[in-house]
Homo-oligomer: A and B are copies of this chain.
Amino acid sequence: MAVLIVGSVALDTVITPFGKNEEALGGAATYFSCAASYFDTPRMVAVVGDDFPREHIQTFRHFNIDMEGLEVRKGKTFRWSGKYGYDLNERDTLSTHLNVFEHFHPKLPGSYRESEFVFLGNIHPSLQLEVLDQIESPKFVACDTMNLWIENEREALSELIGKVDSIVLNDSEARELAREPNLAKAARKIQDMGCPKVVIKKGEHGCLFFSPHSHFSAPAYPLDSVNDPTGAGDSFAGGFMGYLSQSGKLDELNIRRAIIYGSVMASFTVEEFGIDRLLSLSDEEISVRFREFREITLFD
């Protein structure tokens, strides 16, 4: 099996109180794929410019990422720059140059159309819909979104939400999308929009999962040192979708496991800058941290 991701590949410049990472490999599809690769083969649908460094292609190869859907266009690669203060939950965007990503119009290679597990990363909801239309018979589709689309593209976004199995978003996005401050109620409103499985990420407070008949609360890993929060959410989605795709099962308990694997991958990503920690990670470390998540929540 394989898990399809459509999203951004970018060159990120990130400043945190602990250092600076310049023109580093980033973007949602990058973090997602690197994290998912520990579970299943990621099929990456994205676009880069002809300035995209060859070494990054090597890196993708190292992660066993299927790049048939990675388009290289004439022009510059998407660049983003941001700065975090000591409160790593807050960040300022310093610059965004969409470059070739501005006119990204994802077209799936033929072999991708039979993908069963699909993650529609944060792009315009009408593009997410176009991608979904190209998938023959998906088994599980999840999407991400952002405040920009919630505020300006509510119609297309609502149509999309009615067509996916799951949405993965952060707490402030959930509140804004549902126009409801209480997260339990917000989740139910989003379910009423036609999306039965709602995953709400709360950063250092872990995450919540709402399905029609149950609720799951996953803790955050008590990290001593967070060096760079960039990519935490996308690594979460990669671990979550990668594990589901690998196991192929969608029962409640398996989805809970997938959420913990997502949390595990996010907790590793933020330990170092960019994808550095994902590069050095081992399967054994993932298993150990999964067990630690169980230990920190255990009671009877």
Contact = CB atoms under 8 A, between A and B. Distances in A.
B226 A222 contact: no
A284 interface: no
A300 interface: yes
Chain A, interface residues (CB within 8 Å), range = 35 or more
Contact of A206 (B183, B215, B217, B256): B217
A182 B224 contact: yes
Contact of A215 (B87, B183, B222): B222
Nearest to A297: B297
A205 interface: yes
Interface in A191-234: 202, 204-206, 208, 214-220, 222-226
A224 B184 CA distance: 6
Contacts of A260: 299
A249 interface: no
A294 interface: yes
A215 B294 contact: no
Nearest to A299: B256
Copy count, this protein chain: 2
Given A297-B297, A299-B253, A86 B181 contact: yes
A299 B294 contact: yes
A298 interface: yes
Given A299-B253, A299-B260, A300-B253, A219 B217 contact: yes
A289 B152 CA distance: 41
B299 A184 contact: no
A185 interface: yes
Q: Count chain B CB atoms within 10 A of each CB in A183, A295, A298 and give the residue with the most.
A: A298
Contacts of A205: 202, 205-206
A83 interface: no
Q: Count chain B CB atoms within 10 A of each CB in A184, A260, A297 and give the residue with the most.
A: A297
B215 A184 contact: no
A73 interface: no
A226 B223 CA distance: 31
A296 interface: yes
A257 B217 contact: no
Given A205-B202, A205-B205, A183 B300 contact: no
B296 A216 contact: yes
Interface string A2-26: 0000000000000000000000000
16 contacts: A87-B181, A182-B223, A182-B224, A182-B226, A184-B222, A184-B223, A184-B224, A202-B205, A208-B222, A214-B295, A215-B222, A216-B298, A217-B220, A217-B222, A217-B297, A253-B300
